[in-house]
Structure formats: C-alpha cells, structure tokens
Structure 1
C-alpha cells in the first residue's frame, strides 16, 4: 500500500507504489484492419469488453474489471490511451486527455460522429465471442469511452451495453457522440431484439450533464435506462486527476465508487453485473425488459 497518506504527494516512488502491475491479466495483441492494440484478458465465461475512462487503465478501472471477472465473465480490457496500470496523476492525466482529443482515432468534439476506434472495438467483440462462446458479448464504456459501448451495439455479437458517465462530445453538453443515423440504427436493433442500454451519471457531474441523458432518451426512447446518483454518494478522496482535473463527482464505477455495503455506487456496480449476467448467461425472452 501507499506509504504516504497525503493524496497530493508527487514523489515518484510514492505514486509508483499505487500503480497496478496487472499481472493477473494475460497481455495479448489483436490486429484488426491493420491496427494492432494491446488487450489485457482474464477470466472464464462470456466475454465483456471493459473500456477504460481517462486517463487510461487505472487501478480503479482494473478493480472494476476484476469484479466483472469474479462475476463469471472473461474480461477484455483494451489499452486505448495512457499508461497501463498507472495511478491517475493530474498533470500526466491531462496530457493524455489532450493527446486523445487530437488523435484521429477519437472524435472528442460535436458534429463528427462516432469515434473511428469503435470499428476496431466491434471487431474485438466478434473475436471475443469466437474465443469465449456464449450468447454474446457485453461492453462497458466509461467517461471518454462511454458512448463507445453504445456504438458497439451495431455489432450483432454485442448484447449488453453499459454507458458510465458518457462524456463525449466535450463541447456540447446536450449532444451524443453517435450520428443520427447510427442512433437510429441502434434504436431499431434494440426494439427489434428487446434490448436496452444501461447508463449512469452523478447529478452534479460537470462532464456528463442532465442534457446528455435527455438526448439519449430522445434518441433511444424507453430502451435507454438512465440512472442518476446523488453527488453525496461519490467518494470524496479520489486520485489527483479526478480531484483536480475532473473536479466533480463523475466516475460511478471506479474512482468515485465507495466500496462499502449500502453505498449507492456499490449498488450501481451490482446492477451492472446483474445486467450483464441476465443478458449474457441466461436464456432471455426477446421482449424481456431489464429493471435496475
């Protein structure tokens, strides 16, 4: 454990002790359409693709992936940005965010449609289904990658999508990253197959505001199941990136989750695991609704 109790400590030896070595994951490389990415894989059972929030696969993201693994799933954790396993420091995390915003793989601003990386992620889902079997694959997106999980619903292999505080586009609080055409195609699939999309945000989140959930509801109708948690439910001592850069309750399943019985964030985690279990491990009538 971290020897220093001061969360503002910037000593490299001090922060390095908080990094997660990810040694319980199998590091693999997957190439689709000529693009190779590093993916951490672990577990047994139907596959769930867990998409890290900014600034990367942090110890809290890895903790959530382990919870998914313990629930009986194979976890696929692709490295999309940042330093894998690193404790989220403020200055370093902000640099990762800035690089991602100008990367051709991501569409951080409004009007550009879904990020190109989502095509690669759909291919990963197809591969994960081939490797793990089962009825289909789950996808959990967070923050910068929140809407990526929705875009993955264009892939028939993906049966369950969870959007945790979807934060793109960064410059329009009432917009959705997906184009109108993509949203219409996803809604048709959700209605045809009796599926829904689960989403979470904190009430006072500066980066995923009420306007965004309203836009999702308008686009997806009753197939969008949005949950809003009170700000009082958030962990008040998150890592420096979330304290200083994010600067509001934000990460429902990771940095702002309080791992204690009765906490709203822990109930949200359990709802997500139940949702994945219902969609991926049990026979389900086509018109059955999920109720969180």
Structure 2
C-alpha cells in the first residue's frame, strides 16, 4: 500500500505554473513543503502527525519522486531538477524564490475555503525559507522555518541571506511587528543553515521564536526528528491558528 493512498491527489495552477498537491484531514489549513529529495516517507509521516493533530494538510509536490527515500540517487535527481528550474533561486542573494507566488496563491485559496485566522506554512531544508516568502501574503498566519538552507551557504553573504527581496523582507518585518510570529527550528551546528537564524533574530527580534538543538544534524522534523521540535510546531499551530486574524 502506498503511503499516499489515503491522501487526495490534485493539482494547483497559478502564476503560469502547475504542481501536484496531496491533501488530507480537517480543521485549519497547513501547507507542508517538502525538503530535498522530495516527499520522502519521513515528510509524509510528519504530514500525518499534523493531520492527526487536527489540521487540513496540503503537501505540494515540487520536485523529486513521491515516496522515494533519501539516498544519493534521489538527492542527485532532485538537485538536477532544482538546478535547471527557474522557479527556485539557488545562489542569488536579496531575491525571493519565484515559486513563492505559486505558494502564496495556494495559501490564499486554502484560507478562502477554510476560513479562520489564516493558514500555517512550513518549509524545510532547501524550502525552509519559503514559509517566510509566503508570509508576505496575509493568508499565512503561522510560518515555520525548519533548517533553512537556501541560498546555498557558500560565503558569509549567502549564509546570512533569507531568500527574500528587500521589499518582501520589509513586509515580513511589518507583519512580525504586528504580531505574526515566526517559528524556526535547527541544529545549532548545522552548517547548511549558515547564519540565517542570527539574521532572523536581528530583523524580527522577539517575534522570531528560535528553537535549537545541540549537534550538527539537519532535518529537525523528519530524518533527524526531534520530538521537542515537532511538539513546538504543533503547539505553534494550535496557538496561532486559533487566534484573531493577524493583519
């Protein structure tokens, strides 16, 4: 039996792009964006945990092969797809990843359908910063940044970059100042995340909730899962998605 058999497969089209989506559950909406190499069994299992906690979860399929486990081969395939796609920024600084427009549209549609204060958005690894880019849209009320790794942390400038344009960064800062907090998870010794948590602390202050674990592992809610991290995410969703609308 496929791990995704109980999920509803659909497609979402916006801003000239179409990507498959998998949906399951009921309650407030949460968009879970997979890491490299894709919708691995660990990512799907995390999505199931969010569903069980009482949420409507939508998992876009952006690259890779659904249900393929993390391996050198699956990672290489995903990297090839990412590197040739114009939807993602890899090394550029001060730019918002182009896929953000599609993700924001997905969030708006989900919020319009389900109502409430907004939807949650969680990115991880290469997609970690995508939740920040989605936060530019008011439909996203609970952004979660797990081990953000783009742009690739080659050099100090890229290591500190948030994968946002200056205009989008100002919007994120305005929303944070208005009460829309951002939750971030990482291992303190993870070099792939660079110094982005320091940048987020500087830019957002106390509205950046920083959760760090000792060691140099990487995937906080999947391959190197920390129960404390998963609990922090679910607690953040429970508190934020039941709160009054954040403007």
Same fold? TM cut 0.5: yes
Corresponding residue number in structure 1 for 2:181 = 196
Q: Is 1:143 aligned to residue 129 of structure 2?
A: no
Provide, for residues 147-172 of structure 1, a one-character-per-residue CA deviation record: whole Å limited to 9, x for no partner. 10011011111100000000011032
| CA distance in 2: counterparts of 1:137 and 1:84, whole angstroms | 24
Corresponding residue number in structure 2 for 1:242 = none
| CA distance in 1: counterparts of 2:181 and 2:116, whole angstroms | 19
* Deviation >3 Å, runs of 4+: 283-286
Query: Is the Cα contact below 8 Å between 2:68 and 2:74 reproduced in 1?
Result: no
Corresponding residue number in structure 2 for 1:215 = 199
| CA distance in 2: counterparts of 1:186 and 1:131, whole angstroms | 24
| CA distance in 2: counterparts of 1:285 and 1:168, whole angstroms | 30
Corresponding residue number in structure 2 for 1:59 = 41
| SS of the residue 2:50 aligns to | helix
| CA distance in 2: counterparts of 1:90 and 1:119, whole angstroms | 30
Residues 188, 112 of structure 1: CA spacing in aligned structure 2 closer, same or farther, 3 A cutoff?
Answer: closer
Corresponding residue number in structure 2 for 1:99 = 81
Residues 205, 135 of structure 1: CA spacing in aligned structure 2 closer, same or farther, 3 A cutoff?
Answer: same
Corresponding residue number in structure 2 for 1:15 = none
Query: Is the Cα contact below 8 Å between 1:71 and 1:273 reproduced in 2?
Result: yes
| CA distance in 1: counterparts of 2:243 and 2:127, whole angstroms | 29
Q: Is 1:278 aligned to residue 239 of structure 2?
A: yes
Corresponding residue number in structure 2 for 1:254 = 222
Alpha-carbon offset, residue 186 of structure 1: 0.9
Query: Is the Cα contact below 8 Å between 2:107 and 2:139 reproduced in 1?
Result: yes
Corresponding residue number in structure 2 for 1:181 = 167
Residues 189, 208 of structure 1: CA spacing in aligned structure 2 closer, same or farther, 3 A cutoff?
Answer: same
| CA distance in 1: counterparts of 2:15 and 2:3, whole angstroms | 29
| SS of the residue 2:229 aligns to | helix
Asked which structure has the greater CA Rg, the reply is 1
| SS of the residue 2:92 aligns to | coil
Corresponding residue number in structure 2 for 1:266 = 227
- Which residue of the other structure, out of 3, 8, 11, is the alignment partner of 1:29? 11
| CA distance in 2: counterparts of 1:205 and 1:226, whole angstroms | 14
Pairwise CA RMSD of aligned residues? 1.8
Q: TM-score, normalised on structure 2?
A: 0.93
Corresponding residue number in structure 1 for 2:135 = 153
Corresponding residue number in structure 2 for 1:163 = 145
* Structure 2: stretches of 5+ with no match in the other structure: none
Number of equivalenced pairs: 243
Alpha-carbon offset, residue 51 of structure 1: 0.3
Provide, for residues 122-146 of structure 1, a one-character-per-residue CA deviation record: whole Å limited to 9, x for no partner. 0000111122222210000100111
Alpha-carbon offset, residue 101 of structure 1: 2.5
Alpha-carbon offset, residue 32 of structure 1: 1.1
| CA distance in 1: counterparts of 2:96 and 2:72, whole angstroms | 27
| CA distance in 2: counterparts of 1:92 and 1:74, whole angstroms | 28
* Structure 1: stretches of 5+ with no match in the other structure: 1-18, 232-247, 258-264, 287-292
